[in-house]
A and B are shown apart, each in its own frame.
Chain A
Amino acid sequence: MKTSLKLSVATLVLSASTAALAQKSTADGIAEYRKMLEDGNPAELFEAKGEALWKEPRGPKKASLERCDLGLGPGVVKGAWVQMPRFFADTGRVQDLESRLLTCMETLQGFNAAEIAKTGFDKGEQATLTALAAWISTESRGQKMALPQNHAEEKRFYELGKRAFFFRGGPMDFSCASCHGEAGKRIRLQDLPDLTKNPGDGIGFAAWPAYRVSSGEMWSMQRRLNDCYRQQRFPYPGFASDVTIALGVYMGVNAKGAESIAPAIKR
């Protein structure tokens, strides 16, 4: 009697430890897979395209984007990405990278920003935006997220983003926080970062734009958010809409000090 009890306890301990081991090796396996892919991240192809598009005279006004102000002065690209979204005095709005690029494409190049915002992802000028975002984020690779929070509008957007993050609704009564509100959650094999605080270097907000291997597509943050809303069965609030920018402010400010690895590579 005594022996059999001891035996069962031993088996229990053994099975528990093997389960933990198996789980760890799964996560390790994914990390290893990512490392292998990093060597040939196709995001590089988009970076090259984005850099060329930035310098090329385009649009009805035949102008390049080299005078575009991303918050650090006209034409300054290095370090701009880790300080966005931020308040821009000329438009009087808090803008993320994509919405700011829309402004520049309209004012400098003469494109119709509203029309581009309505275009489907990866089509027409939306593909241009994605390539530009890939290159601009590369120029801030390795820097730490440092979104400004000095302007009243920036603070208001943080609060707005927080509300949007915790706002539950839709047919599944989901919010962003349902998946990203606590640590240690995952969907299938994907670890889900807790975005209510700093998730760490190169995780969450500090990892987008990213190349998705499964679909062979480059995704900007706007597209990432669009898919989050789709998964929640929410209607998308619209490309470069205030609510998506506010979510960017919320996640970006929370990630303060995290190192940006964008453009990253995802499964």
Chain B
Amino acid sequence: MADPMRIRAQAAGDKTTVRVLMSHEMETGQRKDAAGKVIPAWFIQEVTATHNGKPVLSAQWGPAVSKNPFLQFVVKGAKAGDKIAVSWVDNKGDKRTDEATVS
């Protein structure tokens, strides 16, 4: 089970800035361990975000994204009290969804 994300969503006017920290190894598949063996690739492939259940962002990620990635985006029209949910799926099929309330 993956560790939880940290999601902060702050409204300013009709725009809400969402900041997400994900906990993930993001292994590229190019590195070798101490014994010289390739460390298998393990990274987030798909990221989606919803605003009150309606999709607002969908992204495809690759091995070039850093470990413990940080994602920031702006949602138009989100108000305080609204729900923002972020999900990811990695190349091993592991997934995680977390939700935050806009403040």
Q: Mark A186-217, 1 if CB is under 8 A from B, else 0.
A: 00000000000000000000000000010010
Tell me if A's interface is mostly helix, strand, loop or mixed. loop
Q: Is the CB of B21 within 8 A of A49?
A: no
Among the 9-residue stretches A38-46, A65-73, A222-230, the one with 4 or more Cβ atoms under 8 Å from chain B is A38-46
Q: A40-B19, A216-B67 are in contact. Are A45 and B72 (CB under 8 A)?
A: no
Within the assembled complex, what's the spacing in Å between the Cα atoms of A213 and B26?
13
Q: For chain A, give the interface size range.
A: under 10
Smallest CB-CB separation from A213: which chain B residue? B66
Asked whether A48 is an interface residue with its Cβ less than 8 Å from the other chain, the reply is yes
Min CB distance B65 to A, Å, is: 12
Interface residues of B in 32-75 (CB under 8 A from A): 66-68, 70, 72
By a CB distance below 8 angstroms, the chain B residues around A48 are 3-4, 6
Q: Is the CB of A45 within 8 A of B68?
A: yes
Smallest CB-CB separation from A41: which chain B residue? B21
By a CB distance below 8 angstroms, the chain B residues around A39 are 19, 70, 72
By a CB distance below 8 angstroms, the chain B residues around A45 are 3, 6, 21, 23, 68
Which residues in A have some Cβ–Cβ distance to B below 8 Å?
39-40, 42, 44-45, 48-49, 213, 216
What would be 26 A-B contacts, judged by CB atoms less than 8 Å apart? A39-B19, A39-B70, A39-B72, A40-B19, A40-B21, A40-B70, A40-B72, A42-B21, A42-B23, A42-B68, A42-B70, A44-B6, A44-B21, A45-B3, A45-B6, A45-B21, A45-B23, A45-B68, A48-B3, A48-B4, A48-B6, A49-B3, A213-B66, A216-B66, A216-B67, A216-B68
